[in-house]
């Protein structure tokens, strides 16, 4: 039975050991010294054991809705396609781990037993993550523009301009779209939130709508974002072993030669592949009745979090993600 249906609101928090923490109180603003220390720690850990890339270096940006399995699939793709290469993995959704008060916020006491749960303040996740995202942003920019050793990079970010930035700095670039049916992604997000506190609160009423919004966003835009990349890969990760699914990834050409008379032909084919990987039978992406975008997604999530916690909404900051 769906734990969201079995227990809602305060009951869900009690059943799963959650303690509601207002976003504003979960993570205070960091001082310059704290940010500098977080940057040193993050850089040391992210580059631990890293080996420089063979020229030219490669950046793989994975996109898709939360719950699609982007991190697992991206790692499996490079392991299969470039087994002799080493990649530095930068996931902006994990910046929170380098917050100086991460341990205090993440290991909250159970509302039932009073013992540490190993689970964080889900209601404050995005706000805590935003506080330290600048650290990842500076590390990534430094790696891309480095005059010294260059590293292959797996990037998890909602700022797609990094495809252009990487290209300007001499990187080969790949856009990886990881698809899954929206119901599968929603279920994975609920399970992950309850188990780890990552990204979404299991008590957030709008959670499924938010996941669907982002699913629609990437389903419709992936082929067009691929125009910025040297190569475009699509993986259907709706079922089965993600590592085996990654092995089935095939390059999709959105700029096929000889299409001057019908430049839309390769794009239509790419759109159909993305839609199929997203778990839909309709080969034509649906028209969205409302506006939106990734920025609107995060603004909606921030507003929902603030409403549940009783704090004032904060503006989302898409550019650093």
- pLDDT higher than 70, residue 156: yes
Q: Identify whether 319 is part of a domain.
A: no
Q: What is the CATH number for 37?
A: 3.40.50.300
Residue in the block written with tokens 């020229």: 55
Pick the closest to residue 109 from 10, 8, 13 (CA basis): 13
Q: Identify whether 248 is part of a domain.
A: yes
Q: 67: alpha, beta or left, given left = phi > 0 and alpha = psi -120 to 50?
A: left
Q: Is the pTM of this model over 0.95?
A: no
- pLDDT higher than 60, residue 290: no
Look at 275 and 307; give whichever has higher pLDDT: 275
Q: What is the dihedral of CA 273, 277, 282, 287, to 10 degrees?
A: -90
Pick the closest to residue 128 from 93, 160, 163 (CA basis): 93
Pick the closest to residue 38 from 119, 121, 118, 98 (CA basis): 98
Q: Identify whether 14 is part of a domain.
A: no
Q: Identify whether 11 is part of a domain.
A: no
pLDDT tens-digit readout, 170-207: 999 999 999 999 999 988 887 777 666 565 554 555 67
- pLDDT higher than 60, residue 320: no
Q: Identify whether 4 is part of a domain.
A: no
Q: Identify whether 83 is part of a domain.
A: yes
Q: Identify whether 140 is part of a domain.
A: yes
Number of folded domains in the chain?
1
Contacts of residue 89, Cβ cutoff 8 Å, sequence gap at least 6? 46, 71, 74, 75, 153, 154, 156
* Structural domain span for residue 32: 19-309
Q: Identify whether 318 is part of a domain.
A: no
């Amino acid at each position: 039975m769906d734990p969201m249906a079995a227990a809602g609101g305060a009951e869900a928090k009690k059943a799963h050991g959650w303690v509601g923490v207002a976003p504003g109180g979960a993570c205070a603003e960091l001082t310059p010294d704290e940010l500098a220390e977080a940057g040193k720690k993050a850089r040391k850990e992210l580059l631990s054991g890293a080996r420089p890339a063979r020229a030219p270096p490669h950046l793989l940006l994975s996109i898709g809705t939360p719950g699609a399995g982007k991190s697992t699939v991206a790692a499996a793709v490079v392991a299969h396609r470039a087994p002799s290469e080493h990649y530095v993995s930068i996931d902006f959704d994990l910046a929170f781990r380098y917050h100086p008060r991460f341990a205090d916020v993440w290991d909250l006491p159970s509302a039932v037993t009073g013992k540490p749960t190993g689970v964080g303040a889900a209601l404050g996740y995005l706000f805590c993550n935003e506080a330290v995202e600048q650290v990842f942003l500076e590390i990534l920019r430094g790696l891309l523009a480095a005059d010294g050793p260059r590293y292959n990079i797996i990037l998890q970010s909602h700022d797609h301009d990094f495809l252009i930035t990487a290209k300007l700095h001499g990187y080969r670039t790949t856009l990886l779209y990881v698809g899954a049916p929206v119901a599968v992604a929603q279920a994975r997000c609920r399970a992950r939130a309850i188990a780890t506190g990552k990204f979404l609160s299991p008590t957030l009423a709008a959670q499924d709508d938010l996941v669907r919004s982002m699913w629609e966003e990437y389903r419709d835009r992936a082929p067009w974002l691929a125009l910025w990349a040297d190569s475009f890969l699509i993986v259907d990760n709706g079922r089965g072993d993600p590592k085996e699914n990654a092995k089935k990834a095939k390059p999709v050409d959105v700029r096929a030669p000889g299409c001057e008379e019908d430049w839309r032909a390769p794009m239509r084919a790419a759109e159909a592949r993305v839609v199929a990987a997203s778990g839909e039978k309709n080969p034509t992406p649906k028209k969205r009745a409302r506006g939106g975008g990734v920025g609107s997604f995060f603004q909606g999530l921030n507003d929902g979090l603030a409403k549940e916690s009783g704090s004032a909404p904060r503006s989302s900051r898409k550019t650093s993600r």
